[in-house]
Amino acid sequence: MSGAPELAVGANAFTERGRDLEVAVVGAGAIGATAAYDLAREGADVTLYDRGSIASGSSGRAAGVCYDAFADPLDAEIGSDAIERFRDLSGDDTFPFVECPYVWLAREGDERNAEALRDQITRMQENGTIALEVDGDELAERFRALRTDDVAVAGIAGAAGYTDPAAYTACLAAAADGVGATLRPETPVRVRTDPARVVCDADGSTHEVDAVLVAAGAHTKQVLADPGIPIAMKPYRVQALVVDCELAEPMCYDATGEFYLRPHPEGVLAGDGTEYVEADPDAYDRDASPGFATDLLERVARRVPGIHLEPDDLVRAWAGLCTATPDRDPLVGELEDGLYVATGFQGHGFMRAPAIGERVADQVLGGEGIDPFDPTRFDGDESFDVVEGMTIREN
């Protein structure tokens, strides 16, 4: 790919840890493209496959909200590293990253979320994450665009921002190409093990490699089912929209109302609409459900009363897929010899892609991996319910 952007790679880049290592990455979304880039810049012979185009799956439909507002120390570390890398890699010639405060709130009368939010902020502060707890009056002083008279408690995280997920993914794929990776979009493949290899459906050719990383988003379960490897993951449908109006800041998650919003170049991007059932990644409805936009726009207008929304202001509405696991932690790491996976991010995959892609690439190269995210912690046949991804996790 010509014109591949030159990304800041740090003083320890190009150490050739991957010399003589062949890796197939299946899935050219944000995590797959990031991992391909990190592997290729370490000298590995990398091929990045996708059944569609770059960022044609969940990454291209993601909200682009990025923050480190996590109470768990590991999640906080990964979130912080991801934010730092978004900053380092972004630029005029790569992709935009707009610094923007992130607010999450619980309304009066919602004691469960209010207590969980207070506990979350305390643990964040104990972990060294910069987060402030404020009431409605203090929130109003900082962000006059928000309605705050119904707010019981809110958190403010300054290490946050937003970006264009498709632009990020295309940039990292181009950068991977620029450091030697081979890009194979529009190339459906099947995975085989013992030894690790991929089979190209187009011509039936087999490519034996040292390692295969399956980062195919909602299709990961299907890809691994073909060689008979079950995983405890369920895709589920979520919805979002863009409306033509003006909002400079902040990004906001209303935990009581279960919706989020952020500034967007065309106005405001907002989302909710989680469906609590497993979705078919090949047959799900990619259009928003009837009534979704009308209902969400009413809620957005109540939270941001300064923006006057009309039905004609709707730019577009759509549906995408997220992936759930039994414990709401992702599946990242080695499933069996030479076979790695990265999925199950519960709606937080894109925002953690720069750090997760880097970490799973490191494990392929011989690093230790992320023990709490070890995909072998489940048998793969567990029964569990789909829950909303953007929620306040209780201790």
Pairing of strands 22-26, 45-49: parallel
Coil, strand or helix: which one is 55? coil
Q: Which two tokens stand for residue 298?
A: 């009413």
Instruction: Please check whether residue 26 is in contact with residue 107, taking contact to mean a CB–CB distance below 8 angstroms.
Output: no
Residue 68 CB contacts under 8 Å (≥ 6 apart), including other chains: 76, 79, 80, 82, 83, 129, 157, 159, 160
**Residue 395: its pLDDT value, please?**
54
pLDDT digits (tens, 9 = 90+) for 219-258: 999 999 999 999 999 999 999 999 999 899 999 999 999 9
pLDDT single digits (tens) 126-141:
988 889 999 999 999 9
Token pair for 154: 């809110």
Q: Out of 1-5, 63-67, 170-174, 311-315, which region has the weakest mean confidence (pLDDT)?
A: 1-5
pLDDT band at 4 (very low <50, low <70, confident <90, very high): low
Instruction: State the Cα–Cα distance between residues 87 and 98, nearest whole angstrom.
Output: 9
The DSSP result for 63-130, as a single string, is: --EEE---SSHHHHHHHHHHHHHHHHH-STTS--EEE--EEEEEETT-HHHHHHHHHHHHHHHHTT--
pLDDT for the residue 128? 87
Does position 10 have pLDDT exceeding 60, yes or no?
no
Nearest CA to 199 among 177, 174, 223?
A: 223
Minimal CA–CA distance to 338: which of 359, 378, 366? 366
Q: Which residues contact 107 (CB under 8 A, 6 or more apart)?
A: 150, 151, 152, 254, 256, 257
pTM summary value: 0.94
Spell out a b/e string for 3-15, using b for 16 or more CB atoms within 10 Å of the CB, else e.
eebebeeeeeeee
Q: Are 166 and 59 in contact (CB under 8 A)?
A: yes
Please check whether residue 146 is in contact with residue 139, taking contact to mean a CB–CB distance below 8 angstroms: yes
Question: What pLDDT shows up at residue 310?
Answer: 77
Whether the CB-CB separation of 18 and 41 falls below 8 Å is answered with: no
> Of how many residues is the chain composed?
395
Distances (CA, A) of 275 to 37, 132, 232, 363: 33, 31, 18, 33
pLDDT of residue 131: 93
Chain-wide mean pLDDT for the chain?
93
Mind listing the pLDDT tens digit for each residue in 308-334?
777 789 999 999 999 999 999 999 999
pLDDT digit string, tens, across residues 152-166: 999 999 899 999 999
Nearest to 82 by CA among 10, 160, 27: 160
Return the pLDDT at 135. 97
Question: According to the model, what pLDDT value does residue 241 have?
Answer: 96
Confidence class of residue 1 from pLDDT cuts 50, 70 and 90?
very low
SS3 track for 329-360: CCEEEEEECCEEEEECCCCCHHHHHHHHHHHH
Which two three-digit tokens encode residue 283? Answer: 């047959």
Contacts of 124 (CB under 8 A, 6+ apart): 69, 70, 71, 76, 131, 155, 157
pLDDT grade for 350, boundaries at 50, 70 and 90: very high
Q: How high is the pLDDT of residue 201? A: 79
Q: 393 falls in which pLDDT band (50, 70, 90)?
A: low
**pLDDT digits 0-9 by tens, 172-222:** 999 999 999 999 999 999 999 999 999 987 788 999 999 999 999 999 999
Q: In terms of C-beta density within 10 A (0-12 exposed, 13-18 middle, 19 or more buried), how is residue 325 classed? A: buried
Give exposure, 160-178, as e/b (b: 16+ Cβ within 10 Å). Answer: bbbbbbbbbbbbbbbbbbb
